[in-house]
Structure 1
């Protein structure tokens, strides 16, 4: 059965790298929000929306809706999808940025993943990775403990499982994620229907 798997988490925990590895090694369809067609123009769109956090949140919500529908099509074609960020990150980050819109309602029709995994990492290790790759403006807000804790709290509430990858190199992290997927999807209890 094809699945829709989402990797969520703070910037710097390895979501993009691990999603690419899973796609390459397991033959999954790699996706991200915003989608690959919007990534090159994302900053222009965000800048064009000005300082309105509500408008920015609606842009990201629209990308979640669109990419979820694409994921459903891939699943219908028999392809398992692994997505780098989705609904949970959009809602968690927006809330901490002061968005007043009810994004739960806005995204109530978004395709639900079969498994949403929150990737976690020791904060010292995460910040080290951010410095190594070059910290972006979006990364900086997660250096604020109050902001970070708010985002993580919401992600924990919305994801199916949390997977701590502290101390794991890339190879070990991929193994742990594959084991998590097998435990919760492939080898999980049979569908009672």
Structure 2
């Protein structure tokens, strides 16, 4: 049975890096929200929406719906999907930014993943990673302890499992993710390549 698995987490925890490596190593198709077609113009769209956090949240919700439908079709055709961010991030970040629109209702038709995993990292290690890659405005937002705590609380409520990657090398993190997926989905103890 093909699986649709989502990785969620704050910026800088290694989601994209781990997702890319895991997908390559285990034969999953890697997807993101927004999708690859919108990534190059995302900043222009967000800037074009001005200061309306609700409009921005609706943009991200639309990308979740679109990518979720694509992921569902791919799993129906036998593909395993690993999604870098999805529904939980859209809801958590929007709520923490003060959006009162019920995004859970807006996204009620978005396909549900088989498993949603929240990746976490020691804050000092996360901030170091952010500095190494060059922080963005969104990254800076998560440096506020109150904002970060609010988003994490909401992500924990939306995700099926939490995986702490503190101190893990990239290779170890991929192994920990593999073990977590196997445990959560009870798909056996497939050996790591």
Scaled by the length of structure 1, the TM-score of the pair is 0.96
Give me the whole-angstrom Cα distance separating, in 1, the residues matched to 2:157 and 2:39.
27
* Residue deviations 1:30-55 (CA, integer Å, cap 9, x gap): 00000000000001100111110000
Q: Where do 4+ consecutive residues of structure 1 move more than 6 Å?
A: none
Structure 2, unaligned runs of 5 or more: 189-193
* Residue deviations 1:107-146 (CA, integer Å, cap 9, x gap): 1111000000000100000000000110000000000000
- Quick one: structure 1 residues 186 and 77, their matched pair in 2 at CA, closer, same or farther if it must change by over 3 Å? farther
* Residue deviations 1:76-133 (CA, integer Å, cap 9, x gap): 1100000000000000000011112110110111100000000010000000000011
2:121 equivalent in structure 1 = 121
SS in 2 for 1:100: coil
Deviation at 1:184, TM superposition (A): 1.5
Give me the whole-angstrom Cα distance separating, in 1, the residues matched to 2:32 and 2:26.
17
Deviation at 1:169, TM superposition (A): 0.6
Structure 1, unaligned runs of 5 or more: 189-193
1:134 equivalent in structure 2 = 134
Superposed, 1:88-127 pairs within 5 Å as 88-127=88-127
Number of residue pairs matched by the alignment:
188
1:14 equivalent in structure 2 = 14
SS in 1 for 2:174: helix
Deviation at 1:187, TM superposition (A): 2.6
SS in 1 for 2:69: helix
Scaled by the length of structure 2, the TM-score of the pair is 0.96
